[in-house]
């Protein structure tokens, strides 16, 4: 089943790089009583993710904050080491975006947003999407038809829908 507006996000634990190495973070802790944007990409350092999707949320971060968004989270099935390097390379970490790893893809599969693309070597990846979540409930969900496009899931599109 694919997640939709009105659904509550399932319990999930992600990884990120902390001061002492990889650490676990519970999705519920990030969303409880908060308004967050969660966007997902098929892979760190992949062309559309690197040149379009992440930059769109860097550009719009202040506008989301003005609308009461507490945090913008980028999720990928990459490991936390790759996510840290990617956050540094894109400027996302410096801009204040949170980059998290769904390394096993368990959350991605549970919400029905997983896909495989063997011809390009992408297996057990996340579809490209962006959602607005309030207190753990999905309020808006913008999913791309193709993982190579960033039209409806970009920062500007989600912001315009709010």
Whether 152 and 143 have beta carbons less than 8 Å apart is answered as yes
150 is catalytic: no
- What are phi and psi for residue 116, nearest 5 degrees? -125, 140
**Could you say which of 38, 49, 77, 132 is catalytic?**
49
CB atoms closer than 10 angstroms to residue 63: 14
CA distance 71 to 22: 20
Report d(CA 105, CA 15) in Å as an integer: 12
Q: What positions carry a catalytic annotation?
A: 49
């Amino acid at each position: 089943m694919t997640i939709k507006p009105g659904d509550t996000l399932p319990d999930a634990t992600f990884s990120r790089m902390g001061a002492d190495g990889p650490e676990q973070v519970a999705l519920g802790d990030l969303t409880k009583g908060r308004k967050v944007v969660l966007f997902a990409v098929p892979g760190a350092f992949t062309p559309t993710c690197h040149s379009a999707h992440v930059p769109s949320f860097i550009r719009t971060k202040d506008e989301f904050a003005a609308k009461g968004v507490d945090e913008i989270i980028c999720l990928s099935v990459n490991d936390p080491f790759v996510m840290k390097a990617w956050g540094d390379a894109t400027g996302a970490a410096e801009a204040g975006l949170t980059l998290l790893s769904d390394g096993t893809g368990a959350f991605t599969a549970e919400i029905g947003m997983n896909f495989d693309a063997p011809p390009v070597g992408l297996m057990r990846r996340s579809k490209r999407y962006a959602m607005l979540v309030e207190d753990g409930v999905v309020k808006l969900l913008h999913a791309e038809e193709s993982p190579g496009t960033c039209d409806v899931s970009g920062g500007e599109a989600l912001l315009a829908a709010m």
